[in-house]
Amino acid sequence: MAGKGVKAGHDAIEAFGAPFAGPGEAEWRALVAKVLNGAPFDKLVSKTYDGITFGPLSQRATSTGFRPLRGDRGVWRVMTRIDHADPAEANRQALADLEGGATGLHLVMAGSAGAHGFGLESDAALQTLAGVDLAGAALEIDAGADGARLAAELAAFVERANIDPSRTRIGFGVDPIGAAALTGETPPDAGQLAASLGNLATTVAGPGFHGPLCVADARIVHQAGGSEAQEIAYALSTALAYLRALEAAGLSLERARDMIGFRLAVDADEFFSIGKLRALRTLWAGIESACGLEPKPAHIHAETAWRMMTRRDPWVNVLRATVATFSAAVGGADAISVLPLTQTLGLPDATARRLARNVQLVLLDESNLGRVEDPAAGAGAFEDISAALCAKSWSLFQDIEHGGGIAGALRSGTLKDAIADVQARRAAGIARRQEPITGTSEFASVQEADIKVLTPLSAQDSWKRGNGLAAIRLAEPFEHLRERADAFKRTTGAFPKIFLANLGPVAAFSARATWARNVFEAGGIEALACDGLATPEAAAKAFAQSGARLACICSSDAIYAEQAVACARALKKAGARWIGLAGRPGELEAALREAGISGFAFAGCDAVSTLGEALDHTAAD
């Protein structure tokens, strides 16, 4: 009866809208063509680092195939990150977060993929669980290299507490392949995996624990700068290696499959984060079917991405985390962890932890995101992206398998090289501000209020591993520029300054001056504006009075043709150590450089290089 009611409702809506025929794609394209004004339609089409094209309009999907649903029906588990090295303080945080609305604990061990400079020591990890009801609170373990021992100790802990293992929800997080990928050490071969995981499956998972023993952790690829398809391919190949090892150890395929889960990073790219979760579940179901198994929804633990976090204007991290959490929820994650906004600055305090927890609670309790199993189903854009990711990821997965599986790809370095290639292209886009980072490369402020953390983290991130898949953050190149500017301020008492030599009337310089201010302050260089200057001599005089060491000429192309060369010479004579020009130089480049212009700031330029060169000229005499 319910189904008939829904159909009747749809029919009524279609009947009501029938007289009001909407425009079709042809009409829409005609309107877009007017806006483009001769520019090609491809200007509206984006292309990912996997080569997947993504346009502005997709057709409504009508297929009714496999649905990549959440493993546990209902809402996701709200996980809270526990990474304080003091087990007593970690326990206090865990109990406070559970009381505050979290439904699970994400225990992060020192040296694990998610540690980022902090984490629990494995010999004290169980002390953090004092007073925690493991029959009610879920656990996700970021285990690191010591995962097998920790898993065995945790199972024994549950037994001593007289808790029925079947009532727990523990993701033990054993990931020897991931541990090798992080450190660059030789990954275990098939025989070693079978021996270690087989024994562990008997002693740990045998008593009836619900929750995966092993995890295929694709965060490792994401935080190294990899693409979405590389993440999925890595996760599939790692999971398949664990499936083969557990079967070789004597477990049935069905039992082995149930012992494997996934961990993914979700970032502020809503469309591809949702598509990534859906594609992974779809492809894993295909592997299950190929093994003769009836597909079951894969267990996925999602964490908001380290790669997208910034040290500058960290409050924007709350917005990024909100989009990422929304994406994980809509994509069907079973458990979600949110990095607190100050995670890149140090060990988060209670305020940062509360905000991270409440991001999930608001989306869960007020936005009701857990009420629909697959909200993206049928939406053309999401279905197209999911399908494209499936195709590309499967191709990369097959390449890995043909090359000897994930262990072979790690031993040969082919995976690391492929990820490095993507990251190099990504870094070029960041440097050119084609991938803007709000608060860092865009809309940065040189005047930032301090924000508290329990234990500061060095800006140099000295804990990073050199030989494995080292974690990066996209904002780092601009943050390094800001660190140089901060060092200048500590020495001189003020930030480095650049004088914006605005030539002509306001209409001539306003747009470029505003744009230039945005660029230079992204490098920690304070921009000093002025009213319109009528002559190069006036610009030189105003520069000398400003106290700046750097200058940038801002105006229209017409005024550049008349005054830019003379203005550059006048500024150089007045003592400017570095002179830039806002805009492309065109045919004037040779004359401008000869007159003293050192760099050109325009949309698409290498802003990191330009800013670095400008800072080079701020050094004290």
Distances (CA, A) of 38 to 27, 540, 604: 17, 42, 21
pLDDT tens per residue, range 239-269: 999 999 999 999 999 999 999 999 999 999 9
3-state SS assignment for residue 418: helix
- Residue 139 per-residue DSSP state: E
Q: What is the mean pLDDT of the chain?
A: 91
pLDDT tens per residue, range 472-517: 999 999 999 999 999 999 999 999 999 999 999 999 999 999 999 9
Selected residue with higher pLDDT from 3 and 584: 584
pTM (2 d.p.): 0.92
Which range (358-362, 528-532, 586-590) has the least confidence?
528-532
Whether the pLDDT of residue 466 is over 70: the answer is no
Report, in this order, helix, strand and coil percent for the chain, each rounded to 5: 50, 10, 35
Whether the pLDDT of residue 438 is over 80: the answer is yes
Which of 209, 291, 300, 302 is CA-nearest to residue 257?
Answer: 291
User: Measured at the alpha carbon of residue 165, what is the angle toward residues 160 and 166, in degrees to the nearest 5?
Assistant: 160
Question: Which pLDDT does position 10 carry in this prediction?
Answer: 54
Average pLDDT over residues 89-117: 96
DSSP string covering 259-321, please?
Answer: TEEEEEEE-S-HHHHHHHHHHHHHHHHHHHHHTTPPP-PPPEEEEE-STT--SSSTTHHHHHH
Question: Which pLDDT does position 43 carry in this prediction?
Answer: 84
Q: pLDDT class for 234, splitting at 50, 70, 90? A: very high
- CB 71, CB 297: distance < 8 Å: yes
Question: Which pLDDT does position 13 carry in this prediction?
Answer: 53
Q: Which CATH architecture has domain 77-419?
A: Alpha-Beta Barrel (3.20)
Question: Which pLDDT does position 106 carry in this prediction?
Answer: 98
Q: Which amino acid is at 262?
A: F
Task: Name the CATH code of domain 480-616 (choices 3.20.10.10, 3.40.50.280, 1.10.30.50, 2.40.110.20).
Answer: 3.40.50.280
How buried is 211 (Cβ within 10 angstroms: 0-12 exposed, 13-18 middle, 19+ buried)? buried
Whether the pLDDT of residue 453 is over 90: the answer is yes
Distances (CA, A) of 465 to 116, 176, 218, 224: 10, 16, 17, 11
Domain segments of the chain: what residues? 77-419, 480-616
Selected residue with higher pLDDT from 621 and 530: 530
Which of 507, 509, 521 is CA-nearest to residue 554?
Answer: 509
- Which pairing describes strands 578-582 and 214-217: parallel, antiparallel, or unpaired? unpaired
Selected residue with higher pLDDT from 41 and 13: 41
Whether the pLDDT of residue 82 is over 50: the answer is yes
pLDDT tens per residue, range 269-301: 999 999 999 999 999 999 999 999 999 989 999
- Taking the C-alpha atoms of residue 581 and residue 310, their distance in angstroms, rounded to an integer, is 29
Chain-centroid distance of CA 34 in Å reads: 36
Give the chain's count of helices (H) and strands (E). 22, 17
Selected residue with higher pLDDT from 465 and 563: 563
Whether the pLDDT of residue 205 is over 80: the answer is no
Whether the pLDDT of residue 555 is over 70: the answer is yes
- CB 288, CB 233: distance < 8 Å: no
Distances (CA, A) of 166 to 73, 334, 428, 475: 17, 18, 50, 44
Average pLDDT over residues 521-550: 94
Whether the pLDDT of residue 207 is over 80: the answer is no
Average pLDDT over residues 589-611: 96
Query: Which phi and psi angles does 361 have, rounded to 5°?
Result: -65, -40
Average pLDDT over residues 341-370: 95
- Which token pair is 332? 């069907």
3-state SS assignment for residue 525: coil
Question: Which pLDDT does position 57 carry in this prediction?
Answer: 82
Whether the pLDDT of residue 447 is over 90: the answer is no
Question: Which pLDDT does position 464 carry in this prediction?
Answer: 56
Q: pLDDT class for 619, splitting at 50, 70, 90? A: confident
Question: Which pLDDT does position 14 carry in this prediction?
Answer: 57
3-state SS assignment for residue 133: coil
Average pLDDT over residues 404-419: 96
- Residue 127 per-residue DSSP state: G
- Taking the C-alpha atoms of residue 52 and residue 46, their distance in angstroms, rounded to an integer, is 8
Share of the chain above pLDDT 70, in %: 94
Question: Which pLDDT does position 31 carry in this prediction?
Answer: 87
Question: Which pLDDT does position 124 carry in this prediction?
Answer: 86
Question: Which pLDDT does position 8 carry in this prediction?
Answer: 54
Question: Which pLDDT does position 79 carry in this prediction?
Answer: 98
Whether the pLDDT of residue 461 is over 80: the answer is no
pLDDT tens per residue, range 302-325: 999 999 999 999 999 999 999 999
Q: pLDDT class for 54, splitting at 50, 70, 90? A: confident
Q: pLDDT class for 2, splitting at 50, 70, 90? A: very low
Question: Which pLDDT does position 1 carry in this prediction?
Answer: 45
